[in-house]
Amino acid sequence: MTRRIVLRAALVTLVALAATFLLDPYWNFQVARFAACFAAVAGLTVLVGLTGQLSLGHSVLMAAGGYGYAFAAGSVTGALGDSPAAPYAGLLAGLLGGLVAAGALGALLGAAAARLHGPYLAGLTLALVIALPSAAVAVPGLGGDQGLGAPFVPVPDALAALMYVEHFHAVVAIVVAAAAVTPLMLLRAGRQGLRMRAVLGHETAARLSGVNPGLVKAGAFTASSLAAGLGGAVIVMATQSVSPGAFGLTFSMLLVVGAVIGGLGSIGGAAVGAALVVLLPWAVETVLDQLPAGLPPVLAQRLDGNLAVILTGAIVITVIAARPGGVAQLLTPRTTARPTASHDTER
Amino acid sequence: MDRLVFLVAAGLAHGAVLALFAQSLVIVWRANRVINFAQAALAVVAVYAALAVTAVSGSWWLGAFAGVVAGGLLGAAAERGPMRLVPTHTPLPGIIVAIGLVMILQAGLAIAFGPEYQPVPAPLSERPFVLAGIPVLSPYDLLVLVVAGLVMAALALGFTRTSLGLQLRAAAFAPETARLLGVRVSRMITLGWMLSLATAALAGLLLVPTELGLHPHALDGLFVQAFAVAVIGGLDSPAGALLAGLLVGVLVSLVSGYLVAAAAPLAVLALLTLVLLVRPGGLFSAAKERAA
């Protein structure tokens, strides 16, 4: 089982890496964004789908990963100075820093999440998203509304003939996303995944069978945060800056929507959801640009971004009402449909 | 000392608005055991409607009345429309529909009215009275306290002393039994949502003149603070919501007055975390089933 999952993940990663050679810089930048969102949505979908804990705050976990990246990468790159290896040591340190920052915040939240259920956890994580801009101002060293800059990672000399900057960043993003998502797949398929489903199905029954629901929930939250943190770190590497505005409420809700549309609990669904989060704004913009110059500039500016959000909102309501299993349910036959959070016991 | 008195007084006025909004969350919770995460987005639509009426008629009071009516209608529309699409026996589908609704409403408002803050004048002066050399409440703060107090008293009386209130509580508490006894449960739930959104719209209307202005996200912070208030006060307890509202209002006022304004959301987050860790189901919840 483990070997099959790892092989499949490696194969998908290789195909994705090969595909980046066919894309132009703009699309490779979008690939990096997609890979980051994929890691976060995959973390969220495992959390919500398998344990039923709804987090509205995954953008903050991404932000934690981003700040961790900016801080660690900045320190290490600065300390190594002119050494040619400095940016890459910084990259590795940054990813590690992102993991540590998001993991620490996730473990704290997980400890709270272990005791909460339903709307209470959603409310707490919502309060976290709303508090993020304040935290960036109030905590010294986070750079306020402007945020922090992250060091530029150039293409290594060995690959300079093959790649340009955006391409290299997309490659790094794909590798990191694979490193973030593969453990989630193993977790989901293994013993811990079974425990999570047991806790979701009936907490008291799970406890009677020797499963500690608190530990399972806290563990799931922490694992989910690590994936989101890596996603945040990757996005900061590609954009070279991290600020609270980039990880606001709308983005956080988009991550939830991505997980729901893809099908809660499904990693393949998370890829579809993340693609939607990245592609829909682009698609709407393209359609608007095709319109014969009829739109006044003020209206065009207001439609930009907002129209995609409206469409996403409408899609998520339709999906949860008509096909609660999301895209994943369309692809798998009904008999093998995986249990999702909307299936509850007859309590 | 002067500063303390002023901050506590201002905090009480803000707390009254918080309590009112928390009350609206409590009403929905009592109507059909959900927390409406779209409450702020629906209320802000009603506030936009109120401002439009004020702009046309020139009267703040007429606008406020229109806003409350619009809130009630929106509540009915939300409950009869999207919220009916999903089962309510688990919280997750309802929350996700609410998120979808929030995205549609807030992005729709941003398209219709632009992303700028629209300044909202208060109907009464916001210059505080000076008592014994200490600036205390302004006439507008007094209005807020009086209106919030009256509305909450009316809601409490309505829920506990009238036949309609009894039906509302019965429909929420034991829908099957209530239906057998002739209560129109579905109608009661819709009515609960209407009452709730009308209250939320009123709270929003009272809040915006004291803040930066009207904006599609203007009530997000209010929702989070009111959620904390409702959890601290117990989702089932209107009196608890009132007390907790005043408490959180004063806390927010003191924190933003003595530290920095930016620290207020962090203080609310810390308080919410603390309360939920001590009592995971809210302060006044009963255990659902024996777990050990």
Tell me how long chain B is.
292
Contact B92 A52 (CB under 8 A): yes
C-beta neighbour count of A104 within 10 angstroms: 15
Contact A317 B97 (CB under 8 A): yes
Q: How far is B126 from chain A (nearest CA, A)?
A: 26
Residue A113 has pLDDT above 50, yes or no: yes
Which pLDDT band, with edges at 50, 70 and 90, does B284 fall under? low
pLDDT in tens, A27-71: 999 999 999 999 999 999 999 989 888 899 899 999 999 999 999
Name the average pLDDT for chain A: 86
C-beta neighbour count of A163 within 10 angstroms: 17
Chain B residue with the nearest C-alpha to that of A131: B265
- Pick from B35, B92, B105, B235 the residue to mutate for testing the A interface (most A CBs within 10 Å): B92
Contact A137 B262 (CB under 8 A): yes
Cα atoms in the 13 Å half-sphere on the side-chain side of A18: 6
Which of A80-89, A156-165, B68-77 is modeled with the greatest confidence?
Answer: B68-77
A to B CB pairs, distance under 8 Å: 163
- Joined tokens for residue B39: 């409450």
The β-bridge partners of B214 are B118
Contact A120 B262 (CB under 8 A): no
pLDDT in tens, B84-97: 888 877 788 888 89
C-beta neighbour count of B143 within 10 angstroms: 16
Q: How far is B22 from chain A (nearest CA, A)?
A: 13
- Our count of domains for chain B comes to 1
Q: Is residue B290 part of a domain?
A: no
Segments in chain B forming alpha helices (H):
2-32, 39-57, 60-80, 91-113, 139-161, 163-173, 175-180, 185-207, 220-233, 238-258, 263-278
Residues in A touching B273 (Cβ below 8 Å): 112, 124
Which residue matches tokens 């429909």?
A: B171
Determine what percent of chain A is predicted with pLDDT higher than 90: 33
Q: Taking residues A270-279, report their average pLDDT.
A: 90
pLDDT in tens, A174-198: 999 999 999 999 998 889 889 999 9
Among the partner-chain residues B114, B220, B268, the one whose CB lies closest to the CB of A249 is B220
Per-residue DSSP letters for A288-301? HHHS-S-S-HHHHH
Rounded CA gap, B188 and B171, in Å? Answer: 7
- Pick from A50, A211, A261, A317 the residue to mutate for testing the B interface (most B CBs within 10 Å): A317
Cα atoms in the 13 Å half-sphere on the side-chain side of B48: 21
Q: Is residue B283 part of a domain?
A: no
Per-residue DSSP letters for B212-274? S-B-TTTTHHHHHHHHHHHHHH-TT-HHHHHHHHHHHHHHHHHHHHHS-TTHHHHHHHHHHHH
pLDDT at B289: 45
Contact B103 A249 (CB under 8 A): no
Contact A137 B260 (CB under 8 A): yes
Among the partner-chain residues B104, B114, B268, the one whose CB lies closest to the CB of A313 is B104
pLDDT in tens, B253-269: 898 888 877 788 888 88
Which pLDDT band, with edges at 50, 70 and 90, does B280 fall under? low
Among the partner-chain residues A123, A135, A253, the one whose CB lies closest to the CB of B103 is A253
| R_g (Cα) of chain B, nearest Å | 19
Residue A202 has pLDDT above 70, yes or no: yes
Is some CB atom of chain A closer than 8 A to the CB atom of B81?
no
Chain A residue with the nearest C-alpha to that of B273: A124
Among the partner-chain residues B91, B100, B266, the one whose CB lies closest to the CB of A119 is B91
Residues in A touching B26 (Cβ below 8 Å): none
Residues in A touching B282 (Cβ below 8 Å): 120
- Joined tokens for residue A319: 């999906």
pLDDT at A344: 44
The β-bridge partners of A149 are A241
Q: Is residue B259 part of a domain?
A: yes
Among the partner-chain residues B91, B108, B263, the one whose CB lies closest to the CB of A310 is B108
Residue A92 has pLDDT above 60, yes or no: yes
- Joined tokens for residue A91: 């990259």
Full domain range(s) for residue B272 = 2-278
Residues in A touching B269 (Cβ below 8 Å): 127-128, 130-131
Q: Are A153 and A87 in contact (CB under 8 A)?
A: yes
Residues in B touching A342 (Cβ below 8 Å): 87, 90, 92-93
Contact B100 A122 (CB under 8 A): no
Among the partner-chain residues B96, B101, B115, the one whose CB lies closest to the CB of A260 is B96
Q: How far is B248 from chain A (nearest CA, A)?
A: 14
Contact A342 B90 (CB under 8 A): yes
Q: How far is B61 from chain A (nearest CA, A)?
A: 31
| CA-based end-to-end distance of chain B | 51
Q: Taking residues B72-77, report their average pLDDT.
A: 94
pLDDT in tens, B96-146: 899 999 999 999 999 988 888 888 888 877 777 777 777 777 888 889 999
Segments in chain A forming alpha helices (H):
2-20, 25-51, 58-80, 86-113, 119-138, 165-189, 191-201, 203-208, 213-239, 249-262, 267-290, 297-322, 326-331
Residues in A touching B292 (Cβ below 8 Å): 207
List the one residue out of A312, A308, A339 whose CA is nearest residue A258.
Answer: A312
Rounded CA gap, A270 and A209, in Å? Answer: 31
pLDDT in tens, A141-175: 888 888 888 888 888 888 888 888 889 999 999 99
Chain B residue with the nearest C-alpha to that of A304: B111
Q: How far is A177 from chain B (nearest CA, A)?
A: 26
Chain A residue with the nearest C-alpha to that of B97: A317
Contact A317 B289 (CB under 8 A): no
The β-bridge partners of B86 are none
Residues in B touching A115 (Cβ below 8 Å): 276-277, 280
Among the partner-chain residues B104, B276, B289, the one whose CB lies closest to the CB of A120 is B276
pLDDT in tens, A315-332: 999 888 887 777 777 766
Residues 6+ apart with CB under 8 A from A19: none
Q: Is residue B291 part of a domain?
A: no
Q: Is residue B29 part of a domain?
A: yes
ipTM at complex level? 0.85
Domain boundaries, chain A: 2-248
Q: Is residue B73 part of a domain?
A: yes
Is some CB atom of chain A closer than 8 A to the CB atom of B220?
yes
Q: Is residue B148 part of a domain?
A: yes
pTM of the predicted protein model: 0.88
Q: Are A237 and A169 in contact (CB under 8 A)?
A: yes
Residues in B touching A313 (Cβ below 8 Å): 99-104, 107
List the CATH number of the domain containing B238.
Answer: 1.10.3470
Chain B residue with the nearest C-alpha to that of A315: B100
